[in-house]
Structure 1
C-alpha cells in the first residue's frame, strides 16, 4: 500500500462523517419530509455546532 492510500484511508469520513456534512445541506425535494424529521435534523445541527465550539474552546484553553 502506498503512502498516499494510507493518508486517504486515514481521512476517510465514512457513514457518520458524511452525515455531518449532509445535515447542513438543503434537503432533497424528492424525499418525503415531515415535522418530526425536520426538527430532528435541526437539533442535530445545533448539537454539532455546539460540540465544535466546545472543542475549539477546549483546544484554545490548552494551547494558551
Structure 2
C-alpha cells in the first residue's frame, strides 16, 4: 500500500496558508480560491454526516 495515499498535508496547507505579497492576485483568482475552499469544506461536512449515519444508526 502506498504511504502517500492519505497524505492530507497539502490539502490542509491550502486552507491555512498565508498570503504571499509577491504573488499577483485579482478578484477572479480570489473568488476561485474561495469557491474551492467552500466546496472542500462542504464535501468534508457531507462526509462526516455520511460516516455518522453509517456508523451510529
Structural RMSD (CA)? 2.2
Unaligned runs of 5+ in 1: 1-5
Higher relative contact order (CA 8 A, sep 6+): 2
CA distance in 2, matches of 1:63, 1:48: 22
Query: TM-score under structure 1 normalisation?
Result: 0.68
Matched length: 55
CA distance in 2, matches of 1:52, 1:61: 14
- 1:48 to partner: Cα distance: 0.6
- 1:56 to partner: Cα distance: 0.3
* 1:29 pairs with one of 21, 29, 34: 21
